[in-house]
Copies of this chain bind each other. A is one copy, B any other.
Amino acid sequence: DYSFVSLLHSLLPLLPQVNARWLIHGAKVGLALVLVSLLYMLEVVHDRLGDNSMWAVMTVVVVFEFTAGATIGKGINRGIGTTLGGGLGSLVALLAQEIGGIGKPMVIGISVFIFCGMATYSRMIPSFKKKYDYGALIFILTFSLIAVTGIRGDQILKIASDRLSSICMGFAICIVIGLFIFPIWAGDELHNSLASKFDKLACSIEECLEDNIKPLDEKKGTQLANPHSSCIAVLSTKSSDETLANFAKWEPWHGRFGFYYPWNKYLQIGELLRELAAYILSLRGCLRSKQQPLKSCAMMDIGDYYKATCVLLASTLRELGHNIYDMKRSQQRDSILAKFEMTRSELCSTVLVSKLANLMNRSGSMGGGISSTSILFLLLEITDKIEE
């Protein structure tokens, strides 16, 4: 075995980049499993529960998730599913034993078909699936196992209760290790991912600006190297955000977060940021289109406004991100809003006064800029709500 250890040790540096948090998570799972195995080794536990203590091991393996919220959610789902499934299964098994004879397998077969079919159907319904998918799975599992065991049936109730108590033991170990040793909170994850989204969008706005300044040849190079990836990344965060928010709702009070933290507000802000990402994406598309807006003659006088807007947008996004990260209320809120109002009217008037018909695409991007501005207004308001 020690040769294995050294082998693994020599393999470790070969992994692309050892992520410390993942490593901690791995160690936590390992620790939980060792603890649960020790439990299995204790004579007193094994005498009481027998082979049903296997279920404690299984619970640890299946329930222990990366974030604390996911672990708690799965554990509670598992508990409810086991209780319901075990209860119904015991009932069916007892009923089947009462009937006896050929009716016994019939009753069990029919009830397995109906209950498991129903539960599977309900797992497909999105709103149910979101929170109780795992519970329904466990319900099906426990129900069919208990009901089927009832065929050979003795001590059904003892089996069911032993199983439930070993699951509770496994869950308790998960909770202790998951919540007290380097806990990873889904709420924190969501919070940080939201704050980093602001940063990503600010970066991609700045990239737009840089692209503009460079000549055409270089531009093509960067286009291949960096296909506005941060924008796309922000666009596709919807499902992971929702999962995190779901988990976060299971989490107890901790650190900076209260019980009733507005996770739905987080999702709304995420939605707005995705919309903003869509605008930035199309702004870049306009800038890169074949009309080559930046080659046009009247560029210089408008270009400055454009740059100023971009810089303002990027810095505001950065600041909003930092404020959200630190959970502070923005000090200069009014001044920022005033700046935006000014920039906006400047943009409008410039474009209205100068005759920029040949700068169509150019002003197209301006339109995008203005839409971004109005989105930012919304953002500012919502941020205020949250940071109260």
State the A residues within 8 Å of B (CB). 1, 4-5, 8, 16, 19, 22-23, 25-27, 29-31, 33-34, 37-38, 40-41, 46, 51, 54, 57-58, 61-62, 66, 92, 95, 105, 107-114, 116-121, 124-125, 137, 140-141, 144-145, 147-149, 151-152, 232, 235-236, 238-240, 271, 274-275, 277-279, 281-283, 285-286, 289-291, 348, 351-358, 360-361, 363-368, 370-371, 374-375
Residues of B within 8 A of A120 (CB): 25-26, 29-30
- State the CA gap A122–B92 with chains docked (Å): 42
16 pairs from A and B in contact (CB 8 Å cutoff): A1-B92, A8-B114, A27-B117, A37-B112, A37-B148, A40-B151, A41-B148, A61-B116, A66-B124, A239-B240, A285-B374, A285-B375, A351-B357, A356-B357, A360-B366, A363-B363
User: Given contacts A279-B285, A368-B282, are A124 and B22 in contact (CB under 8 A)?
Assistant: yes
Residues of B within 8 A of A92 (CB): 1
- State the CA gap A22–B128 with chains docked (Å): 14
Residues of B within 8 A of A367 (CB): 286, 289, 360-361, 363-365, 367
Residues of B within 8 A of A105 (CB): 37-38, 41
- State the CA gap A66–B121 with chains docked (Å): 10
- State the CA gap A273–B345 with chains docked (Å): 34
Residues of B within 8 A of A23 (CB): 121
Q: Is the CB of A118 within 8 A of B26?
A: yes
**Interchain CB contact (< 8 A) of A121 among B22, B275, B370, B375:** B22
Residues of B within 8 A of A124 (CB): 19, 22, 25-26, 66
Minimal beta-carbon separation of A70 from chain B (angstroms): 13
Across the A-B interface, the 5 shortest Cβ-Cβ residue pairs: A364-B367, A30-B117, A278-B278, A26-B121, A30-B113
Each complex incorporates copies of this chain amounting to 2
- State the CA gap A34–B112 with chains docked (Å): 7
Q: Is the CB of B368 within 8 A of A152?
A: no
Minimal beta-carbon separation of A142 from chain B (angstroms): 9
Residue of B nearest to A29 (CB): B120
Q: Is the CB of A289 within 8 A of B371?
A: yes
Q: Is the CB of B41 within 8 A of A116?
A: no
- State the CA gap A279–B278 with chains docked (Å): 7
Q: Is the CB of A40 within 8 A of B364?
A: no
**Interchain CB contact (< 8 A) of A140 among B4, B61, B286:** B61
**Interchain CB contact (< 8 A) of A62 among B137, B281, B289:** B137
Known A232-B271, A291-B348; further 7 A-B contacts with Cβ < 8 A: A23-B121, A25-B121, A26-B116, A30-B120, A235-B238, A282-B371, A354-B357
- State the CA gap A8–B117 with chains docked (Å): 11
Residues of B within 8 A of A232 (CB): 271
Q: Is the CB of B282 within 8 A of A112?
A: no
Minimal beta-carbon separation of A282 from chain B (angstroms): 4
Q: Is the CB of A364 within 8 A of B374?
A: no
Residues of B within 8 A of A40 (CB): 148, 151
Q: Is the CB of B57 within 8 A of A151?
A: no
Minimal beta-carbon separation of A44 from chain B (angstroms): 14
Minimal beta-carbon separation of A267 from chain B (angstroms): 12
Q: Is the CB of B374 within 8 A of A370?
A: no
**Interchain CB contact (< 8 A) of A360 among B109, B238, B271, B363:** B363
User: Given contacts A58-B141, A141-B61, A291-B348, are A4 and B285 in contact (CB under 8 A)?
Assistant: no
Q: Is the CB of A371 within 8 A of B285?
A: yes
Q: Is the CB of A38 within 8 A of B109?
A: yes
Minimal beta-carbon separation of A111 from chain B (angstroms): 6
Q: Is the CB of B353 within 8 A of A357?
A: yes
Minimal beta-carbon separation of A115 from chain B (angstroms): 8
Q: Is the CB of B145 within 8 A of A57?
A: yes
